[in-house]
Amino acid sequence: MSVFKYERDTDGIVTVTMDMTGPVNSMNDEYDVAMGETIEKLEAEQGLAGVIFASAKKVFFAGGNIKDLLAIEKGQEGVMMDRLNAGKAQLRRLEKLPVPVVAAINGAALGGGFEICLACNHRIAYNHKSVQIGLPEVSLGLLPGGGGIVRMVSLLGLQSALPLLVEGKKLVPEKALAAGMIHEVVASLEELVPRAKAYILSVKGDESAAVQPWDVKGFKIPGGKASDPANSQILPVATTMLFKQTRGLMPAPAEILDCAVQAATVGFDAAMKIESRGLAHLVTTPEAKNLITTFFFGLNKINAGSSRPEGQEKNLTKKVGILGAGMMGQGIAYVSAMAGIAVVLKDISQESADKGKAYSQKLLDKSVAKGRMTQEKRDQVLALIKPTAENEDLRGCDLIIEAVFENVELKHKITQELEPFLAENGVWGSNTSTLPITILAEGSKNPDNFIGIHFFSPVDKMPLVEIICGEKTSDEALAKAFDFTQQIRKIPIVVNDSVGFFTSRTFGTYLDEGARLIHEGLHPIKIDNLGKAIGMPVGPLTITDETSQQLQYKANATWEEMGLDMGDRSLTMEIVNLMVEEHDRGGRHHGGGYYDWSESGKTVWPVIIEKYYKPEVALPDQDVKDRLLFRQVIESLKCLEEGVLRTVVDGNIGSVMGIGAPMWTGGFIQFVNTYGIQRFSDRCAELEASYGERFKAPAIVAAKLAAGETFAS
């Protein structure tokens, strides 16, 4: 029995309901057979009035089989081309049927799923936020290879199609309708197939309803060919903007742009072949391997709860207390209320607490003004936040998150004072970025229920939460923190305790290497530009100013006072002390740092040039780039080796979403896999010989080489 259910009604309309083996419909060997058999049967039908493609799954069609794509290696491009051409030939036969074909989109139709829809003459979608429509292959370092680029350009024109393709936008049905990607929406699932049948009957006898626009004689692409004046003017701008966004490090967007331009230049069939060649190339690139490994398999693994302790029942938070209504606390309050959790936002004064709540009001008002939220919903969310200076208001919280200054004594004092207000079996979380949880838990009467919950700023935008387990943290507390993180729609990674944990510890090496390069005499602008050249969001000196030297200064004093070892940071601290102690420069928002900051931009602080810059110093650019990247990769590997990182996937997701690791790497550990473990070891040895022991490859690298293994997730 075929996994495509085939039903013909008395009106001559065939409904093909896709119900493939497994949880979703996807393009694999089973699909190839089912689609081939279905098309043959449709082509042989007599008195056929129309065809409807529907789905028995919650997702209409999930797209290509990513596992198969990941297995394609260099030298197998021809195999990939044959596979793509065969799949395209099937869809071409589908759209050449002499009757209208309708896609009844009941759930997400992304990638290959939407490419099937594009091969249909008419597209109707259930108008619900769970239904997403688009071609997001670029996010995995790929391009739509089932005719998606060619048909989108032919359907919408080059200018309208480009943003949807290059950015991989996923649209809800109403926006897809406005963009011209679908033709209709219906209000309920029950209306979907009946409406599709009604459409087919309404165009009965109209032969044009069965012909795709690009198959009509004399067809012209909306907006004209790529060489037409309007398009030829925007293409140089698009190319420049694309390079600015990717810095030439992500091949997929550039390949998509090229294929789209070709689709608006050559004929339909030739453009299809160009598109296939593009995907056959991209699927073998290390960038695609990295993105697929981390952002498809890795992220799905985390979201499925791979880092959550087994055997623990779901423990959702009903009432959360947040201590400290500053930048971090107010952000945590906002995301918690948005998730429907009752929030007690406590500070030392009612005025400070009210100011913290005002942050949420500002964000909510902005959403209402942009039409993203109703006034009623805004009022409901805001009502969940209770600003207070009273301890008693915390009573009954099943989770309290302390978000005060990075001071151990202060944190101990607050824990001892307010922990009694927790509900029975309630969990205490500390939002600290560096201080060991085991030490902070010494202020608790219940260290089993004490855990680190490290948010990133700004909380409302940053997707990651780093959960840190102390020596005594229980599985129950970890499950509670994990569930809360998912409840507020964040991505949790779980790490073990150390100074700086994983993210802050690794991120600190980027800042430290920037300071070392200053000491060696490089110009600050060059250092920052080379940091961006490897794909970091900003250069190491700029981000030091943004996170503030003042914070580093205070943190270092705390670490020294506690006798904590953060490694050799003497050169960094020399500069920090110069700025903070001698010149009262604590960072961008504290008098300046490496740069003088103004509304018009930034300029290098002259003292840095006078004291450190040596024009005669000429380090190879590749060495500088590798130093800035490899320091972070090496530290990530050390965290894995020492057990700070529990899993490779937590390290990869954490490094990209928490630290800003270049997307093309797939995360600092995944980078080593496609760079080549032997090659990585050799390059570390070269850097160590030239620049110092900090570049020595951790022992775990040699162990993987000896075992013939990679750093698998």
* Domain contains 311: no
* Domain contains 309: no
Q: Is the pLDDT confidence value at 345 over 80? A: yes
Domain boundary among 463, 496, 529: 496
Least trusted range by pLDDT, from 50-59, 240-249, 371-380: 240-249
CATH number of the domain that residue 684 is part of: 1.10.1040.50
* Domain contains 65: yes
Q: Is the pLDDT confidence value at 683 over 90? A: yes
Query: How many Cα atoms within 13 Å fall on the side-chain side of residue 614?
Result: 10
Q: For residue 540, what are the β-bridge partners?
A: none
Domain boundary among 574, 590, 612: 612
Same domain, 643 and 586: no
Same domain, 223 and 276: yes
Same domain, 173 and 199: yes
pLDDT in tens, 180-212: 999 999 999 999 999 999 999 999 989 999 999
Specify the 3-state DSSP secondary structure of 398: strand
CB 335 within 8 A of CB 341: no
For the question of residue 45 being annotated catalytic, the response is no
Quote the percentage of the chain above a pLDDT of 90: 89
List the structure tokens of 229.
Answer: 């004046």
- Cα–Cα distance measured from residue 432 to residue 39, given in angstroms and rounded to the nearest whole number: 59
**Model confidence band, residue 76 (pLDDT cutoffs 50, 70, 90):** very high
Same domain, 354 and 430: yes
* pLDDT at residue number 682: 98
Same domain, 485 and 547: no
Residue count of the chain: 713
- Cα–Cα distance measured from residue 648 to residue 670, given in angstroms and rounded to the nearest whole number: 8
Q: Indicate the number of domains in the chain.
A: 4
List the structure tokens of 89.
Answer: 């030939």
* Domain contains 293: no
Annotate 635-689 with DSSP letters as a single string: HHHHHHHHTSBS-HHHHHHHIIIII---GGGTSHHHHHHHH-HHHHHHHHHHHHH
Q: Is the pLDDT confidence value at 614 over 60? A: yes
Which residue is it, tokens 């030298």? 75
CB 318 within 8 A of CB 341: yes
- Cα–Cα distance measured from residue 113 to residue 63, given in angstroms and rounded to the nearest whole number: 5
* pLDDT at residue number 472: 97
* pLDDT at residue number 555: 79
Backbone torsions φ then ψ of 677, nearest 5 degrees: -65, -40
* Domain contains 592: yes
**From the CB of residue 584, how many other CB atoms can be counted at a distance below 10 Å?**
11
Amino acid at 330: Q
* pLDDT at residue number 391: 97
**Model confidence band, residue 42 (pLDDT cutoffs 50, 70, 90):** very high
Amino acid at 198: A
Strands (E), 431-488: 450-455, 464-469
Annotate 539-567 with DSSP letters as a single string: -HHHHHHHH-HHHHHHHHHHHHHHT----
* Domain contains 673: yes
List the structure tokens of 576.
Answer: 């920090």
Alpha-carbon distances of 557 from 234, 276, 452, 552, rounded to whole Å: 54, 58, 21, 9
**Model confidence band, residue 566 (pLDDT cutoffs 50, 70, 90):** low
Same domain, 327 and 260: no
pLDDT (mean) for 121-137: 97
Same domain, 212 and 251: yes
Strands (E), 317-369: 319-323, 342-346
Give residue 448's Cα distance to chain centre. Answer: 32
Same domain, 244 and 178: yes
Pick from 352, 344, 339, 340: nearest CA to 399: 344
Give residue 250's Cα distance to chain centre. Answer: 15
Specify the 3-state DSSP secondary structure of 210: helix
Same domain, 165 and 267: yes
- Cα–Cα distance measured from residue 178 to residue 109, given in angstroms and rounded to the nearest whole number: 17
H or E stretch at 576: helix 570-577
pLDDT (mean) for 540-560: 87
pLDDT in tens, 448-495: 999 999 999 999 999 999 999 999 999 999 999 999 999 999 999 999
Structural domain that includes position 595:
503-612
Amino acid at 691: Y
* pLDDT at residue number 554: 83
Domain boundary among 469, 496, 523: 496
Least trusted range by pLDDT, from 345-359, 573-587, 650-664: 573-587
Question: Which one has a higher pLDDT value, 605 or 556?
Answer: 605
Give residue 285's Cα distance to chain centre. Answer: 20
Same domain, 13 and 38: yes
Strands (E), 70-176: 101-105, 109-110, 122-126, 133-134, 170-171
Q: For residue 126, what are the β-bridge partners?
A: 186
* Domain contains 204: yes
Cβ-Cβ contacts under 8 Å for 351 (sequence gap 6 or more): none
Give residue 501's Cα distance to chain centre. Answer: 21
Predicted TM-score (pTM) of the model is: 0.93
pLDDT (mean) for 342-352: 97
Instruction: Exactly one of 37, 95, 137, 287 is catalytic; name it.
Output: 137
Same domain, 82 and 150: yes
CATH number of the domain that residue 330 is part of: 3.40.50.720
CB 542 within 8 A of CB 594: yes
* pLDDT at residue number 63: 84
pLDDT (mean) for 61-85: 92
DSSP H helices, 268-308, are 268-282, 286-292, 299-303
**From the CB of residue 566, how many other CB atoms can be counted at a distance below 10 Å?**
18
**Model confidence band, residue 365 (pLDDT cutoffs 50, 70, 90):** very high
CATH number of the domain that residue 82 is part of: 3.90.226.10
Q: Is the pLDDT confidence value at 1 over 60? A: no
Q: Is the pLDDT confidence value at 563 over 80? A: no
Pick from 424, 358, 489: nearest CA to 345: 358
Instruction: Exactly one of 95, 115, 255, 419 is catalytic; name it.
Output: 115
**Model confidence band, residue 564 (pLDDT cutoffs 50, 70, 90):** low
List the structure tokens of 512.
Answer: 């430290």
* Domain contains 297: no
Same domain, 329 and 204: no
**Model confidence band, residue 269 (pLDDT cutoffs 50, 70, 90):** very high
Average pLDDT of every residue of the chain: 95
Specify the 3-state DSSP secondary structure of 357: helix
